[in-house]
């Protein structure tokens, strides 16, 4: 069975024929698909930001309670909450 004959068989099934003929289901399926792609892209973006070391600072604490700690080389800084 070739790929073309398989695609034609899928296209001729009752489910996909009804899907193509519907005025409401097809746009809903496309919208759901686009939302899923956007969520997946957002997850990738959040992971990339985390891997780059850029994360949301603790904005609830005043600046006086946040100190900067370096690893000695000065190339990378990490913010830590001040422990009292």
pLDDT tens, residue by residue, 17-51: 988 888 998 899 999 999 999 999 999 998 888 88
- Angle made by CA atoms 64, 62, 50, in degrees to the nearest 5: 100
- State the pTM of this model: 0.51
Half-sphere exposure of 23 (CA within 13 A, CB side): 0
Centroid of chain to Cα 1: 37
Whether 11 shows a pLDDT value over 90: the answer reads yes
């Amino acid at each position: 069975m070739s790929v073309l004959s398989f695609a034609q068989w899928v296209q001729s099934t009752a489910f996909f024929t009804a899907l193509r003929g519907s005025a409401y289901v097809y746009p809903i399926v496309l919208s759901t698909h686009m939302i899923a792609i956007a969520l997946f892209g957002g997850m990738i973006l959040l992971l990339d930001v985390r891997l780059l070391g850029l994360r949301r600072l603790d904005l609830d604490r005043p600046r006086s309670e946040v100190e900067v700690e370096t690893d000695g080389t000065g190339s990378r800084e990490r913010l830590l909450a001040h422990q009292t």
